[in-house]
Amino acid sequence: MYHRIFLHLLSIPLLLSVSGCSTMYDWLRADPAPQTSFLDGNFRMVEQSPDFPFRKMWIDKDTDLRKYKRIIVAPVTTGHLMDSAAWDKFDERSVAGELKDDSKDIAKYMELSFYNAISYDPRKRFMLVDKAGPGTLRLEIALVQLQPSKAELNYAENIIGIIVWPVSFLTIFNSGTTAFEGILRDSQTGKVVCAIADREKDEAAIFNIPGFTYYGNARYFTDRWSRQFVDFMNAKDYTKLKTDFPFKLIVF
């Protein structure tokens, strides 16, 4: 009996992958976030394919990003967080006034995640520096949305799901949401040469372990974004990049 259930569960992501392709990505991923004033400028963000790592992006066609060999990672700002009034009605941390402090913690985590991803890049695309200069980019990031997962419900439903496994799927209704906007600018001229933005919600899974805490998934997506940024900057043809399929048996 149990081996049949196990085989059935293993078939779910395979069936989804084969049947939907980009359509399934579009259905399972969060919709692109509205653009904030952080990205105000003389450029228009372009919505990307649902399976691309970043839902929106813009690149200055007159700039060759390959000429930049150094990069500054600026502190992540929380000054453009979108209003989450609808969530506040249900989230005890918002009611307790803790969300503001939480956003600062996640912003610092995001800064370190991008810094470490660049630092430990096996291809050594960039040298990390702290001063402007020739051939140097400045990476500026804004945390623009942070809605915590409903950790208590996730925990309870996953425990029950060990016995009645379909109950585990109820966790998709407890999803948190995290979104960021990023700018790459020439550190000397201040000219914006690239902009990226993405928003993610908790992935559908039998067990979403990061969802057992309020901001486990925010950290999970932050680490993925930082890796994808490095992949993007290393890619010879970035249009071939794809994000992870947003359904897994277990999210670690």
Q: How far is CA 143 from CA 108, 151, 178, 203, 210, in A?
A: 10, 21, 8, 19, 19
CA distance 153 to 158: 8
Task: Pick 91 or 186 by higher pLDDT.
Answer: 186
Q: Which of 2-6, 27-31, 159-163 has the lowest mean pLDDT?
A: 2-6
pLDDT single digits (tens) 146-161: 999 887 665 565 655 5
Amino acid 211: pLDDT: 80
Quick one: pLDDT band at residue 64, thresholds 50, 70, 90? Answer: very high
Amino acid 203: pLDDT: 84
Domain parsing of the chain, residue ranges? 2-251
Task: Pick 137 or 19 by higher pLDDT.
Answer: 137
Is pLDDT of 210 > 80? yes
Amino acid 93: pLDDT: 53
Quick one: pLDDT band at residue 137, thresholds 50, 70, 90? Answer: very high
Least Cα distance to 247 among 148, 177, 140, 172 occurs for 172
**What share of the chain in percent tops pLDDT 90?**
60
Task: Pick 107 or 165 by higher pLDDT.
Answer: 107
Is pLDDT of 252 > 60? yes
Q: At what angle do helices 216-234 and 99-119 cross, to 10 degrees?
A: 30
Please, are residues 204 and 250 in contact by the beta-carbon 8 Å criterion? no
Quick one: pLDDT band at residue 115, thresholds 50, 70, 90? Answer: very high
Query: What is the token pair recorded at 147?
Result: 């809605």
**Most confidently modeled range among 34-48, 98-112, 117-131:** 117-131
Least Cα distance to 220 among 231, 230, 209 occurs for 209
Amino acid 209: pLDDT: 84
CA distance 185 to 183: 6
